[in-house]
Amino acid sequence: MARRKQKKVEGSKAAWLVTVADLMTLLIVFFVLILTMSVMDTTVITRISPRTASLSPILMSGPGRVPERVHLIEQVLRDPFNVLEKRNRIKDLLFPLDILPKELSPGELERNLEILAHPEGVVIVLTDSLLFVEGSHNLDSVGKALLDALIPVIFTVNADLNISGHTDPGTVEGRDDYELSFMRAAGVLEHFLQARLAPNRFSISGYGPDKPLFTGDDPESRRKNRRVEILVKSTPRIGGYLF
């Protein structure tokens, strides 16, 4: 009889151990699932732009999803030869009314923003009056806000970029045009790098007055020639501008 009681006690101990083992297995599976989901989310976001050094705080500050307008822009940039037909649509997607700085009217933005097709990709052209303190290479508050609107697009699009500065002759009296154009391009680049975009995606150029968009000497042509161009290189280089 004593031996039978001993067997019952050992059986109850074994059942208790099985229950604990099952519980531990479930906990391990639960934590593995959580870890897998976390890694998957980071992988998906990183795959969007594999050359980005780290996740942009501007994107990560939201719900973790790329804005729909950015997806639409990305689709257009894949087919740069149709950009001219969609330039107004691109402008609206890049700078929707709800993100425009209050100091900037839609009409002023329209007069100082251009979208060009280029054999290497798409060019976003911003005149100096949108970006810089007058006579300076320092970005003003409006310029920073406009560049901030571009950061999610640059983050998402898997392409290299060139930022080039341009002036008209004698943009700032007493200052070298080539130096000024280069410093303005560098200022735009610095703003993008502060958002933790990968430095190896960028190059910068300062052309001074050597590459005007407009050849006239009238004030309007000169104003539009004072600009920064952001070239998104989505296709191989084969030539010059397409108008």
The reply to whether 163 and 187 lie within a common domain is: yes
11 pLDDT higher than 80: no
Note the pTM of the prediction, 2 decimals.
0.71
Is the pLDDT reported for residue 203 higher than 60? yes
Cβ-Cβ contacts under 8 Å for 201 (sequence gap 6 or more): 51, 52, 154, 159, 160, 161
Q: Give me the residues paired with residue 62 across strands.
A: none
**The domain that contains 218 carries what CATH number?**
3.30.1330.60
Residue 26 in any domain: the answer is yes
HSE-up (13 A, CA, CB side) for residue 225: 22
Q: What is the pLDDT of residue 76?
A: 77
Tell me what pLDDT residue 61 has: 43
Q: Domain range spanning residue 198?
A: 57-233
Model pLDDT for residues 103-121, shown as the tens digit of each residue: 999 999 999 999 998 888 8
Angle at 64 between CA 60 and CA 65, to 5 degrees: 125
In a shared domain, residues 14 and 74: no
Q: Within a domain: residue 239?
A: no
The answer on 30 and 62 residing in a single domain is no
Q: Which of 21-35, 127-141, 189-203 shows the lowest per-residue confidence on average (mean pLDDT)?
A: 21-35
Q: Is 241 inside a domain boundary?
A: no
- Pair 169, 208 in one domain: yes
Which residue reads 């341009």 in tokens? 166
Mean pLDDT, residues 187-210: 95
Q: CA-to-CA distance for 94 and 125, rounded, in angstroms?
A: 12
Q: Do residues 178 and 66 both lie within one domain? A: yes
Task: Please give the Cα distance from 5 to 112 (Å, whole number).
Answer: 93
pLDDT at 33: 67
Mean pLDDT, to the nearest integer, of 142-160?
Answer: 92
Beta bridge partner(s), residue 127: 227
Question: Looking at the domain assignment, is residue 240 inside a domain?
Answer: no
For the packed helices 177-194 and 141-156, what is the interaxial angle rounded to 10 degrees?
60
Residue 97 has pLDDT above 80, yes or no: yes
The mean pLDDT of 215-239, rounded to a whole number, is 84
- In whole angstroms, give the CA distance from residue 55 to residue 46: 7
Q: What average pLDDT does this structure show over 180-188?
A: 96
Does 243 map to a domain? no
Question: d(Cα 126, Cα 146) in Å, to the nearest integer?
Answer: 9
Give the pair of three-digit tokens for residue 144. Answer: 């920073």
Same domain for 38 and 69: no
- Is there a single domain that holds both residue 21 and residue 42? yes
Q: Please give the tally of structural domains in the chain.
A: 2
Using alpha carbons only, what angle is made at residue 117 by residues 198 and 172, rounded to the nearest 5 degrees?
75
Mean pLDDT, the chain, as a whole number? 79
- Contact status, residue 142 vs residue 87, Cβ threshold 8 Å: no
Residue 123 has pLDDT above 80, yes or no: yes
Domain-embedded: residue 174 = yes
Q: Give percent above pLDDT 70 in the chain.
A: 72
Q: Are residues 30 and 131 in the same domain?
A: no
- Percent of the chain with pLDDT strictly greater than 90: 44
| CB distance 156 to 49 below 8 Å | yes
- In this prediction, residue 31 carries a pLDDT of 67
